[in-house]
A and B are shown apart, each in its own frame.
Chain A
């Protein structure tokens, strides 16, 4: 079974600092990988996705992620944090094979941005 591990349940950065949220996956085949953001009392919003094209994926709100097969990682970065980036972030992998509609999520990383 595929799984996702997010290192760090809580990350705190200063406004303007680099944001780095870590995600490692386990999969026996090349996966589809996603990052979602969840603001309080809202649903999940897709930030970006990797679908085996370019390994560096650019998403919305200035976020990007790099797929590294050798490290089985898909870390999310943003060069300069903004107060509005404070939210919970989830990494997810989509199953391969017959059930390739099902998303498996990590436990999430809460990002706080300090002024």
Chain B
């Protein structure tokens, strides 16, 4: 029973390039959450999605960041025109329908912007 799968685990981009991070939730889970973790800081909520719907994107920067969770395939977090401040670990988590807060996390994607 595979857990939450994230890829790539490590991604290096130069300023101005695009970064795409992918997340496949656990089997049977239809809710996906993206969090960002900066050094010496906690987890900051970015976006909560269900299949084909963005439920809450209150933590997502208004510019350059977007997320989707299509009917088929993984959830994608997209960062356009990356800047050095985007360097962080990005964690995806999933939960089944009806869950009340327990999340299952992937191992994270670590983005480094040169």
Whether chains A and B associate is no
